[in-house]
Amino acid sequence: MMACKEQMLNDIGTVSFCMVELMLYLDTHPNDRNAMEYFNHYAHIKDQLSREFSREFFPLTAKDSDCNKEWRWGMAPLPWEGVCG
C-alpha cells in the first residue's frame, strides 16, 4: 500500500512539474495552441490523480477534501512525523 501511495504522489509531482514548465513556456508563447492543449491535458490528469489520491489516502489540498461527506483535511501526516521526506 505504501508503494502505491508513493507512486501516486510521484505521478502527481511529475504532472505538476510538466504543468509548471508549460506555464513558463506559455508566458512567452501565449498563442501556442498546442502548448495550451498540452497544459489542459495535464491539468485534467492532475485533477484526476489528486481526486483518486484524496479518495484513497488523504486530501492534498483543502479543496480536495469532500466536505459533503466528511472533513478529511487534517488526516495527512505532518512533516515532523517523518513520512514526508
Position 36 in a domain? yes
Q: What is the pLDDT of residues 33-54, one digit of tens each?
A: 999 999 999 999 999 999 999 8
- Structural domains in the chain (count): 1
**Does residue 67 have a pLDDT over 60?**
no
Provide the domain limits for residue 50: 15-57
Position 50 in a domain? yes
Tell me what pLDDT residue 53 has. Answer: 92
**Does residue 72 have a pLDDT over 90?**
no
**Does residue 66 have a pLDDT over 80?**
no
Spatial separation of the C-alpha atoms in residues 60 and 65, rounded to whole Å? 8
Please state the rounded mean pLDDT for residues 49-73. Answer: 78
Tell me what pLDDT residue 65 has. Answer: 62
3-state secondary structure 51-82: HHHHHHCCCCCHHHCCCCCCCCHHHCCCHHHC
Position 70 in a domain? no
Position 71 in a domain? no
